[in-house]
Amino acid sequence: MFLTAVCSIIPAMPKTVPKKKIPEYLLGLNPEQLSAVTAGQELLIIAGAGTGKTTVITKRIEYLVKERKLEPDSILALTFTEKAAREMQERLDAQLPLSFNEARVSTFHGFCEQIIRRYALELGVDAGFRVMNEARQRMLIAKVIYGLPLEYFLLRGTHYGNIAAVSRAISAAKDQRMGWEDFARRAE
């Protein structure tokens, strides 16, 4: 299942647009897609692959700008993958006039990174921090676990399995909001 969110500030309005007033650029949408595009509140779209999420989101942004007269910079569209964010931005570039194409399209991680960087001082975080991708995370884990005397605990002949096991343990601890002190106690 794929999750995408579109948030916007929308003044009070009817839930959908009357059928006789459907703009031409929305005529190719099915009834569920049209309902999502013209909904009168913020949306969270949950749907499987190939169901038209990107189409719905980009058409909704176009609809909000063209029909509801929202300022593009008041619209935020978030998705999980960079590929989907890039595709949404490309579609918006084609659908909206250049002067109206200031809607924010990003991944959840990218957007959160921007917020952390913007408020780094208030958060007590170094604004020059780097977010590690999965490959760099695994390289760091390998460097650490193979630099420690852990031979007794490591699985024989499965370099990748050891790194993956440590990575899963760290991820589970983060999901449980476990600090490093609790994690260390649990490991003992």
Q: Give CB contacts under 8 A, 24+ apart, made by 108-112.
A: 108/5, 108/78, 108/79, 108/80, 110/82, 110/85, 111/76, 111/78
- Look up tokens 């595009």; give the residue: 37
Q: Which residue has the higher pLDDT, 45 or 110?
A: 110
Tell me the whole-structure pTM to 2 decimals: 0.64
Give the pLDDT mean for 97-103: 68
For 23-48, what is each residue's pLDDT tens digit?
899 999 999 899 999 988 888 888 88
Break the chain into its structural domains and give their ranges: 2-115, 134-187
Top CATH class of 2-115 equals alpha beta
